[in-house]
Amino acid sequence: MNKELSKLKLFSYSLFAIPLAILGLPLYIYLPTFYAKDVGIDMALVGATLLIARVIDVFTDPIIGRLSDKYFKRYVFIIIGSIIVLFSFYFLTHPLSNANAFYLFIFSVLIYTGWSLLTIPYFSLSAEISFNKNHNNLLASSREFFTIIAVVLALFLPYYYNISKDEQKSLLLMWELVLYLLPILLIFLVFGTKNTQKIDADITIKESFVFLKENSFKFRKLFFAFFINNIANAIPATLFILFVTYVLNEKDSIGVLLLVYFLSGVLALPFWYYISKRFGKKNSWIYSIILASLVFLYVPFLSEGDFVPFLIVCIISGFSLGADMFLPSSIQADIAQEFTKQNSQFTGVLFSFWAMLTKLALASAVGITFIILGVFGFDSNPQSSTSQLLLSSLYGFFPITLKLLAVVFILKSKHLKY
């Protein structure tokens, strides 16, 4: 569509990832632990509640994707989603004194719905700004660069203000950042990409999914790889605070370790961008997964006092983070354009399908791990040998198994030529 990718479009699109990243961090890292430890809801119940809320949210994604393709500008959905997100995030970070599982459920469903209204049209824009595959790679890597920068900022500020050990104060700080940054960068997004051409689609939701089903054989194994790898990434993110607190006994170092992890991802982005251009996106993604899996082999054998070994794990696994974040989304944009050549534009539905897989993966990670920990009585006795072994195994071995399975599916994706 566009022969040249202007800097204004590139930065106005990429910078909007900052408030999304700051919002996503507490939802996946701080929030489950906060409601289990500070609000006092049973750990298994927190896991089950968030799992059900996510599953419900999954079924709204195709509808949102179809509507964003067919009706209104994508910015209309992004604006509506932003309002819902700010409203629900406030109540999640400022729980009432009698907040219970139902309270968590209601506002989780709201924020997940707002997140869908916001992110599905936003990610769809990457396939509409330019139809050049190198531009897709640049848009995805630039977006993820600012994503990681935002995460590093979100981790540094609680550490700077000496509140990184307090989940509630950290959540409140995230709320303030999102409140100010989201509206400002939304205006910049609308202004900078206002001339982006949207190709209207006249097909119905049913017709779009029939088309997707008929053509998905080309990418079905890749879909499984996305899903499994997302679960593998979400499990350590969900259990990070618990692992560092109860296995390493280094709660004071939570902020530093997270900061090092994501900073490594930032520094590695240019490297993975170069590798992907030289060896292809598929091979580069596999390399990053194998690297993360190898270093995570040591995690289950760590115990109290092993701060330095775990710091090394964070550095190396963080190095693979950059590729693991931007390469899948870049491949997704390529696939979206592959489908577009065959029929009317339905980018939103395709991206909503990947959003479904991502959300289901995150829900599975929180639901499975928190339910298992709750059933085995982790929240009542986290220092027992059984609890320590269980947490270490869930944090270390489980993700490795899933990542290796994801590699198998990627290798079997014969149609993936990127």
pLDDT at 2: 45
Over pLDDT 90: what percentage of the chain?
27
Indicate the range of 105-119, 135-149, 165-179, 252-266 predicted with least confidence.
135-149
Average pLDDT over residues 198-220: 63
Distance between CA atoms of residues 19 and 226, nearest Å: 24
**7-411: CATH number:** 1.20.1250.20
pLDDT at 312: 95
In one letter, which amino acid is 83? I
Backbone angles phi, psi at 16, to 5 degrees: -65, -15
The residue among 169, 317, 186 whose CA lies nearest residue 240 is 317
CB atoms near residue 100 (< 10 Å)? 15
User: For residues 150 and 17, is the Cβ–Cβ distance under 8 A?
Assistant: yes
pLDDT at 411: 86
The residue among 6, 50, 9 whose CA lies nearest residue 28 is 50
Residue with tokens 């994508």, as numbered in its chain: 74
pLDDT at 417: 56
71 pLDDT above the threshold of 80: no
Distance between CA atoms of residues 249 and 341, nearest Å: 54
The residue among 58, 39, 51, 25 whose CA lies nearest residue 103 is 39
Coil/strand/helix, residue 198? coil
Phi-psi region of 162 (alpha: psi -120 to 50; beta: other; left: phi over 0): left
Residue with tokens 């599916």, as numbered in its chain: 409
Domain range list for the chain = 7-411
Average pLDDT over residues 377-383: 82
Indicate the range of 33-47, 156-170, 173-187 predicted with least confidence.
156-170
Alpha helices in 59-100 (DSSP H): 61-70, 74-93
User: For residues 48 and 364, is the Cβ–Cβ distance under 8 A?
Assistant: no
Over pLDDT 70: what percentage of the chain?
83
pLDDT at 84: 95
Mean pLDDT of the chain, nearest integer: 82
Q: What is the pLDDT of residues 117-171, one digit of tens each?
A: 888 888 877 667 766 666 666 777 788 788 878 887 887 888 788 887 777 888 8
User: For residues 365 and 235, is the Cβ–Cβ distance under 8 A?
Assistant: yes
User: For residues 10 and 139, is the Cβ–Cβ distance under 8 A?
Assistant: yes
